[in-house]
Structure 1
């Protein structure tokens, strides 16, 4: 399993907004646009419901919002590289600069955990995290995940 099987150039965003709700809505719309059986309204609702339970801001200026729904055909990742700090109510109380949204089928928890693990491996590396935060195009984002 490689992250690049789930993250493509068309699923990398560079939102101008630093508003959490706007970013999540834009990312959910992108997930619907790229396919995988994503109903944008249902997916957006699931993302916001998950976020209401507990912030997906995991620290290190990273958020990993996620939702799994029965109608989604396969896993996908949408990445957002933010141009400024977004308040996210993160665990470490720091603003977020990188957002990785994971969506997928409700019945494949082990696949979800593998994807989450791969993303975590990349973002724990300070050099890769810095490269992602300074990425100016999708190719630079994908390069951070190459070989994983």
Structure 2
């Protein structure tokens, strides 16, 4: 399932203001819970558990926190652009200001990997993150991402 099938302006948060990684994950869990009816705490616990394995920061100011949940039936991808970059324990030590959250049904692991790969490939174009940082509206951000996804076809290996 391509992210273009379910990602829309309603899934975009521009100029979010969390001051640290913990607050950001809490914000994303709250936003996701409001959209998919899951418990905010269940989502937050799953995101924290995933971050304990290792940071989901991709580098160059981008993070892709993700998790699979048993009770989720439909995938959810959120995009948040932060007002100020925050430390996300990135390998390149760059703070993060562009964040994509992917929540996926545990029964469809292949779909999660495909969506994450799509996002990662799109962000390999150095213009995509620059344009996302400058997007004026949620609709603009969606178009920027979907255009970048459509133009990228290669594999996503390693950091950005």
TM-score, length of structure 2 as denominator length: 0.86
Q: Which residue of 2 aligns with 1:118?
A: 118
Deviation, 1:100, is 0.3
Equivalent positions of 1:1-148 (< 5 A) are 1-14=1-14, 15-35=16-36, 37-147=37-147, 148=150
Q: What is the root-mean-square deviation in Å for CA atoms of aligned residues?
A: 1.4
Q: Is the 8 A contact 2:8 2:139 kept in 1?
A: no
Q: Is the 8 A contact 1:67 1:103 kept in 2?
A: yes
Q: Is the 8 A contact 1:65 1:102 kept in 2?
A: yes
Unaligned stretches of 5+ residues in structure 2: 151-160
Deviation, 1:38, is 2.3
Q: Deviations over 1:89-144 (max 9, x none)?
A: 10211110100000011121111111011101111111111001122321111011
Distance 1:28 1:144 in 2: 24
TM-score, length of structure 1 as denominator length: 0.92
Deviation, 1:79, is 0.7
Q: Is the 8 A contact 2:87 2:94 kept in 1?
A: yes
Distance 2:28 2:4 in 1: 17
Distance 2:2 2:125 in 1: 17
Unaligned stretches of 5+ residues in structure 1: none
Q: Is the 8 A contact 1:122 1:144 kept in 2?
A: no
Aligned residue pairs total 147
Q: Which runs of 4+ in 1 moved over 3 A?
A: none
Q: Deviations over 1:71-104 (max 9, x none)?
A: 0011110111011111011021111010000001
